[in-house]
Amino acid sequence: MTVKKLTIKEFAALLGVSTATVSRAFSSKGRISAETRRRIITRAKESGYRPNIHARNLSTSASSAITLYYPEFSNEEPDYFIAELMLGINRTLAKYGKILQISPFPLETSEVILDLCRDQILSGAAAGIIIIAGSKTSRELYECAAGCGMPEIVIGHMREVRYNNVWFDNRRGAFLAGRYFRETGRRHPAYLGGVLDRRKQNGFSEGFQLPESEIIKAGSGFGFRDGYRILDIIAAEHPETDCILCANDVMAMGFIAAARERGIRIPQDIAVIGYDDIHPARYYSPALSSVSLQLTRLGEAAALSLERLIGGTTDLPPELIECELIIRESS
Amino acid sequence: MTVKKLTIKEFAALLGVSTATVSRAFSSKGRISAETRRRIITRAKESGYRPNIHARNLSTSASSAITLYYPEFSNEEPDYFIAELMLGINRTLAKYGKILQISPFPLETSEVILDLCRDQILSGAAAGIIIIAGSKTSRELYECAAGCGMPEIVIGHMREVRYNNVWFDNRRGAFLAGRYFRETGRRHPAYLGGVLDRRKQNGFSEGFQLPESEIIKAGSGFGFRDGYRILDIIAAEHPETDCILCANDVMAMGFIAAARERGIRIPQDIAVIGYDDIHPARYYSPALSSVSLQLTRLGEAAALSLERLIGGTTDLPPELIECELIIRESS
DNA sequence: TTGTAAGCGTTATCAT
DNA sequence: ATGATAACGCTTACAA
């Protein structure tokens, strides 16, 4: 029972005005009398007329959508990092009447999927895009968008990206954690993360004042389960470990859950610090110490910058959102 | 440095073919020789030509976007219920080459915002929409979409919606929790939730075999903090309480965190059961018992049904995703 | 199998 | 302030 929708032509005829006038009533820029506009808007509500957005987009070659591209570390668990970010992005976009599209891509992106993403970008569906840095695909998408002049903001650190970048300093964050462990008397550090993040490891080792080679590394993913599983490895191969920095909070929670089952006390036996400081961290038991990235603020900053770019600003200087070590009970 | 993009006309001229042929090469339905298609696609990649999606949408009056409308219970914390759902929706939409748009609306929706959502729907930006039931606005959006023939799927229970509905039985879920509490010797139940959900309360009371009036109700939100705060009220006004069903897992976690600080033992002093069974539940400490709604499966089912609707099917019978009580350590 | 040309529903330019 | 009309870039009969 699809209802035939009114076109601007039909609607204009109905009111006895021209299509141009109707268009002006909706576009809020053209010169039109307040009286006429009011009348048109009122009648539009009654008759259910709304400008067709595709026609408008085509005509103005604009769009009211923003696309967020992010690597999907797991297709079983939601990504809480992204969830916090989206909160900030959405909050900001709403102010500009924009809508958020989300486009996760698998970590191991096939050429086919990459092409699909490129198609999306090149087809001009979005007014701008936000890309989460940290995978090869991110970089490819960045270049695709750059190549066709699509406004884009990168969140996180991407090599050679000098502008339009909102970032956090992982080196610094991990440094803070390392220094804290050292200062609180820990001696046998480990780093848990699915992928080697040189900046985190580098900062961690520097904060701990220990060569990188002496810091245990383990892990093969970024989810709860990955953190949970790692305990076995640590217990078997590095039983002396007394403090652990995790690549994210979720892994830390998984790790702690496993430790609890084994009777390993947190923080007495092993001190744990997570990363990102997602909301559940403070309500965890023990309340999770974490490096706060202020993700929601980060999302807001990214959306705001993108909006500027779309508005015509060019080459926004990179914006650093300071990270902060939040000590709770787990360390 | 916006790069001038090729139009189909220019591109066709470049190859010495007609625009129709180019169009057919991309649309994968029209009659065209495999050879020609291959050539066109290859050259398109090289020259960076991609069909303009707005023009295509206008011409076919289709769209490759799906919009998810959901009430935003908090603008400070991410909504984990939605996050799990989105995982399933996205996973399914990806198979159909569709992209997900998200459009949260405030719980207390102003007429202005409601109109904005209606505009979105009426403008035909999306090929279909998914609406999370449970607020007045959900209902209004449902009616708006129904009125203009926009394919839509409702997730959850909405009065008088007989078709195109994917739902879970809150009455049953709460019943299971109530019965479990009763059977495990609890005698003083409470229900924690920001809004009175009659079905949950009803089921809970029935499962517990106690009149609704004798079940304590408390709460004023759905976030961690709300759960956290409620402990004070329970402790002060209903100290005899020995078991609690929470409206969602996040509240349960907040509540447990507060209990821990007070030295109240979970589950010995108070048994707690959450609702939704989001991923963190099993890694919480104590591992959280919860009513599983199988949210990711629910999301998949919704997206799949919507895809059918868009394909032309009408009046899909409602689909019930069974809920299940998962007992872990907190009860 | 391929080409021609008429839409698709707006907005924007130019008149009036 | 309003009207007529040419884009906007694609798809799809219809012709060849």
Q: Which chain B residues are closer than 8 Å to A122 by Cβ? A: 5, 48, 50
- Enclosing H/E stretch for A182: helix A170-183
Question: Any idea which of A270-274, B8-12, B295-299, B300-304 has the lowest mean pLDDT?
Answer: B8-12
Q: How far, in Å, CA of B284 to CA of B292, rounded?
A: 15
pLDDT at residue B30, as a whole number: 64
- Selecting from B2, B50, B77 the residue whose C-beta is nearest the C-beta of A149 gives B2
Give DSSP secondary structure letters for B161-197. --SSEEE--HHHHHHHHHHHHHHTT---EEEE-SS--
| Listed range (A109-118, A165-174, A192-201, B1-10) with the worst mean pLDDT | B1-10
CA distance A59 to A53: 10
Distance A312 CA to C9 C1' (A): 27
Choose the closest CB to B123 out of A53, A124, A278.
A53
Is B33 (CB) below 7 Å from strand D? no
The answer to whether B215 touches B244, Cβ cutoff 8 Å, is no
Closest CB to B48: pick one of A148, A228, A285. Answer: A148
Is the pLDDT score of A25 beyond 90?
A: yes
Contact residues for A291 (Cβ-Cβ < 8 A; gap 6+): A173, A174, A176, A177, A273, A274, A275, A276, A277, A323, A324, A325, A326
């499966």: which residue's tokens?
B297
Would you say residue B238 has pLDDT above 80?
yes
Pick the residue with more confidence: B84 or B116?
Answer: B84
Q: What is the pLDDT of residues A222-279, one digit of tens each?
A: 999 999 999 999 999 999 999 999 999 999 999 999 999 999 999 999 999 999 999 9
| pLDDT band at residue A292 using 50, 70 and 90 as cut-offs | very high
Within chain B, strands assigned E span 65-72, 99-106, 128-132, 152-155, 165-167, 189-192, 216-218, 243-246, 271-276, 289-292, 319-320, 324-326
Instruction: Indicate the pLDDT class of residue B3, thresholds 50, 70 and 90.
Output: low
Under the banding of pLDDT at 50, 70 and 90, the label for residue A1 is very low
pLDDT at A88 over 90: yes
Contact A322, A176 (CB under 8 A): no
Give CA–CA dist A171/A206, Å, rounded: 9
Q: Is the pLDDT of residue A2 over 70?
A: no
- CB B65 to CB A101 under 8 A? yes
Q: What is the mean pLDDT of residues A129-141?
A: 95
**In angstroms, rounded to a whole number, what is the distance separating the alpha carbons of residues A25 and A39?**
9
Per-residue model confidence (pLDDT) at position A37: 92
Report whether B263 contacts B298 (CB < 8 A). Answer: no
Residue B29 clears pLDDT 80, i.e. is over it: no
* A318 inside 8 A of chain B by CB: no
Q: Is B165 on the interface with A (CB under 8 A)?
A: no
Contacts of B1 in chain A (CB under 8 A): 149
Q: Which residues contact B160 (CB under 8 A, 6 or more apart)?
A: none
pLDDT at position B231 is 94
Do the chains contact at A257 and B149, CB–CB below 8 Å?
no
Strands of the sheet containing B319-320, edge to edge, are A319-320, A165-167, A152-155, A128-132, A65-72, A99-106, B99-106, B65-72, B128-132, B152-155, B165-167, B319-320
pLDDT band at A297 (very low <50, low <70, confident <90, very high): very high
Nearest CB partner across the interface for A78, out of B87, B125, B148: B87
For A147-159, the pLDDT digits (tens) are 889 999 999 999 9
Q: Do B125 and A54 touch (CB under 8 A)?
A: yes
- Give the model's confidence band at A195: pLDDT under 50 very low, under 70 low, under 90 confident, else very high: confident
pLDDT at residue A48, rounded to an integer:
86
| A147:B51 CB<8 A | no
DSSP3 helix / strand / coil % (chain B, rounded to 5): 45, 15, 35
- Per DSSP, the three-state class of A146 is helix
Per-residue pLDDT for A331 more than 90? yes
Using a pLDDT cut of 90, give the percent of chain A over it: 82
- Cα angle B294, B297, B303 (rounded to 5 degrees) comes to 140
Is the model's pLDDT at A103 over the cut of 80? yes
Tokens of A235: 């217990």
Alpha-carbon distance B126 to nearest alpha carbon in chain A (angstroms): 10
A277 contacts chain B (CB < 8 A): no
Residue with tokens 């159909």: B96
- What's the whole-number average pLDDT of chain A? 93
Which sign does the torsion angle of CA B165, B171, B172, B176 carry?
positive
Q: What is the pLDDT of residue A75?
A: 85
Mean pLDDT, residues A95-120: 91
Interface subset of A 278-307, CB within 8 angstroms of B? 278-280, 282-287, 296
Nucleotides of D under 7 A from a protein CB: 1-5, 7-13
Strand C footprint, Cβ within 7 Å: A 5-9, 11, 19-20, 22-23, 26-27, 29-30, 49-52, 55-56, 58-60; B 16-21, 24, 30-33, 35-36, 55, 58-59, 61
Residue of B nearest to A251 (CA): B283
- Phi, psi of A262, rounded to the nearest 5 degrees: -90, -5
How confident is the model at residue A324, as a pLDDT?
98
User: Which among B58, B149, B282 has CB closest to A54?
Assistant: B58
What's the confidence (pLDDT) of residue A128?
A: 97
CA of B229 and C1' of D14: distance in angstroms? 71
Average pLDDT, chain B: 93
State which residue has its Cα closest to the C1' atom of C3: B18
pLDDT in tens, A54-68: 999 999 999 999 999
Total-model pTM: 0.95
Q: Give me the percent of chain A exceeding a pLDDT of 70.
A: 98
Predicted confidence at residue B1, as pLDDT, reads: 44
